Chains A and B, each alone.
Chain A
Amino acid sequence: MVPFSYTAVTNPNDAMERAARSAGVEYIAGGTDMLQLLQEGVRAPMELVDINGIGFDDVSVAVDGVRIGAMARLADVADDPTVRERFPAVAEALHESASPQVRNMASVGGNLLQRTRCLYFRDVTTPCNKREPGSGCSAWFGQNRINAVLGGSPDCFAAYPGDLAVALIAMDAEVMVSGPTGERTILVEKLHRDPSEAPHIETVLKPGDLITAIWIPLPAAGRRSHYLKVRDRATFEWALTSAAVSIGFDGERVLDVRVAVGGVGTRPWRLPHVEAMLIDRNLDRDLARAAGERAADGAESRGENAFKIPLLKKTVERALLRIAGLGAGDQP
């Protein structure tokens, strides 16, 4: 680790004021991704601003939605009765993230911003456009089993690794952001950028911006939801593929639907064309299979990650079957 300066703040304005001064100033909250990146030399901040003292760590219920403080820990949000009851896909995504120890530490705001697990991004001895712009992509000709099949290019096809963001997209959730220019909200769906022009710039956040909360609008609670995660081992592992599905039913008829997928895209990925296939139809086995078949439209494999395309189709199909109560003995 290179030396860095450290400041603990108790006021969000102090944090934003420091972070806006230089791109070398970064926030640290739970620290579970930051410490890995520091240890591996992937990040070399000049200063870390510890924002654990600023509050914003509770889950509060309003008439029109639920507000989850950005500093709330994954474990606490996963166990929150309101989240579990109203937004099961969010609770499932959190319960299946990381390990119990990491869930006790990591903040939900930081989780949305976690960096890719692409082997080369985390190996400073190799070229990587995301880590060192213009240096090239080692994964294109290298080990790319975990890399993305949606949204990539020869410059970068690192997969976004998170679960929570995928589930939140199916909830129409927003992040509440404070910054030097005031406060604004950003749909979680719009938070992450395509890597096409600048793989190293991953979100639309600007220096000094601070995520203060996640907002889940109440209508999402009127839909059934499910998060299905497929991985190399049963627990404590990132998604190879995942699907978050949220459906408002009238009997078997789909009135309203969101489908988002993870582990496969360069950012959390929504599938509007799959949603369009489902709307106003009765969700049965045939429709689930047909919709799953289209889940990987536009996907391109590169060597070792080709298995993700058929796996993604089956992941979406199974998530739809489960939410419709048609899962073969494996209903959530």
Chain B
Amino acid sequence: MNASAKKYGAMGARDLIIWGIAIVVMLAAPLIFTSSLAITMLSQMGIAIVACLSFNMLLGQGGMLSFGHAVYSGLGSFVAIHALKAIGGGSFPMPVGLLPLVGGVAGLFFAVLFGFVTTKKSGTTFAMITLGISELVFAASLMMAEFFGGEAGISANRVVGKPVMGISFGPQIQVYYLLAIYTIVCTAGMYAFTRTPLGRMLNAVRDNPERVEFIGYNTQRVRYISFIIAGFFAGVAGGMYALNFEIATAEVVGAARSGAYLLFTFLGGATFFFGPIIGAVLMVVAFVMLSEITKAWLLYLGLVFLLMVMYAPGGIASLIMMNLRVWKFGKLGRVLGWYALLAVTGAVMFIGIAAMIEMTYHIQLNEALGPVMRFMGVELNVKSAAAWIGAIVVALIGIGLFEFTRRRFALHWGEVQGEIEAAIRARESA
């Protein structure tokens, strides 16, 4: 890779190393986390990564806020599950390993169909139309029981015929490796898309649709083709889902799932390509583990989302990139102490607030178990004033300390950024 190619956005050695590490991590993960829960979660992460990345082709790269992305992954799941049934019944001779591609073709088909309407407009109108289509498809899923299977959904068996070279897709680990390959190939494909003429014009449409029209491009066409490609990858994720769970129910096309794609893509960071990957991993962790720890997990999720929108709208990816920049300029040491302070004061604040949330949930849901509950190793009596006063005091102290620290930190952070920008300017004029 020579320097001039790199200048035009070709992949350099560093990019190849990052990709290599990512692939090794995906392939080695089940050797390290060997429990069946871990492998289940890893499989779901692969699916979520493809889904969130495809969602971010619209949100991050095209500035299209879709409230109905689950329509394309979900319909991909349904078509794939029907295909799997047909394979099992012997009427559709196709290797089971190609099932995600069936989902992809279905996602592409429905994106061609619905995208023709949605991508006519951008901005708020686009968002509204996607919401409408999402509701429409969800309503249809409840009415057309033959295709969507009603309440029970449609299920199928992925173990079909004789094993090929010992692979039957019975054991979860075999499914994981198949999904891992799809995840890697799809991620590479979507990354490649960002470096093509259409991918770049999609960014241009995001930044300034009006000007795009004056340099020869039809903005609707740019949005439409990109939407179709995103629909294809969403469908692949849907097909992977069908293969993994061997069932598709109405909730896979539902608004809640579309909302989850949006929420976690945003949390991970829509402004960087790798942001949605972080978001997808968090999505599975939250859905599988957080929901085990507390019944109030959606409330915590909402709080985190709220704070992210307010204080770090670039998501986790942007936090990482900002700190990498600080590190590159050798100033990370100056902020690390502050991070520790923020973490400690934040933890105090969190414990106070969480205690109140958990006590409220206990009163509402676990009344029959008696007034005493365990919270972080402490017994709290939800009927006693002391527990509530204690929680409120801890929360108030936490909030006060955290806010005090945050303001001081914000000043300090601004100072560091100012120095970095001065250094950049000095370098430019040198």
**Mutual binders A and B:** no
